[in-house]
Amino acid sequence: MSAVEREPGAHLVTARAVHPIEAESYRILRTHFDTSGFLPYTRAVVERVIHASADFDYGTDLVTDEAALARAAEALAGGAPVVADVEMVAAGITRRDALCAIKDPAAPELAAAGGITRSAAALRIAAEKAGPGAVYVIGCAPTALFELIAIAEQARPALVIGLPVGFVGAAESKAALRESGLPAVSNVSGKGGSAVAAAALNALIYRDLVKEGNAS
């Protein structure tokens, strides 16, 4: 797990009530996988992804950077836009609106004109609407992640949560993300998906998840 050895400061994030089922899920999770060695934001992301997927492989598959996560949490607390590649990702992000252009009528037209996929076209449209400094959450389409990497100089993302799933292009797009040097959350394998990508974003919104990581 890639991280810098420093304790990031607390940021103002959304308060919430934790349901007893969620609390029990975290208790069970921690009995099966020791996350105490992770730094606070990294731990929050790793635990939230495992909680959402019931897949402990993410404990070693995820690649994060603690400093990038801390900066992204601060950006989100300050109102940074959130961009999602598909509506399922947007639906999984709680208490924050996410910009998703997959149903924008211009997306298929741009895709046809540019010889790119609809997902890539939608990402380009959403990036133009969001402007620099958005947090991107990509959980479905590797082509959307490749597109974001290609336009990164213009988009200047605060963070890229790149967790697309699949056998074709998913692992390769995430490797390209890591090679790009962009602030990112990714994983090495072809695993991923809308639920885990949204979970990684949600981990940066709620202060209690980071506090829990500090507490034990």
Arithmetic mean of pLDDT, 185-207: 95
Stretch (H or E) spanning 124: helix 118-130
Could you read off the pLDDT of 65-116 as tens digits, one per residue?
A: 999 999 999 999 999 999 999 999 999 998 889 999 999 999 999 999 999 9
Residue 84 lies in a domain: yes
Residue 10 lies in a domain: no
Structure tokens at 165: 């799933």
At 183 the pLDDT is: 98
User: What is the end-to-end Cα distance of the chain in Å, rounded?
Assistant: 19
Could you read off the pLDDT of 84-97 as tens digits, one per residue?
A: 999 999 999 988 89
Residue 14 lies in a domain: no
139 contacts 162 by C-beta, under 8 angstroms: no
Q: Which residues are catalytic?
A: 51
- Cβ atoms within 10 Å of 12's Cβ, excluding its own: 11
**Helices (H), strands (E): how many in the chain?**
12, 5
Residue 100 lies in a domain: yes
Residue 179 lies in a domain: yes
Could you read off the pLDDT of 144-179 as tens digits, one per residue?
A: 999 999 999 999 999 999 999 999 999 999 999 999
* Count: domains in the chain: 1
Q: Which domain holds residue 146?
A: 60-205
Residue 113 lies in a domain: yes
Domain holding 178: CATH number? Answer: 3.40.50.10230
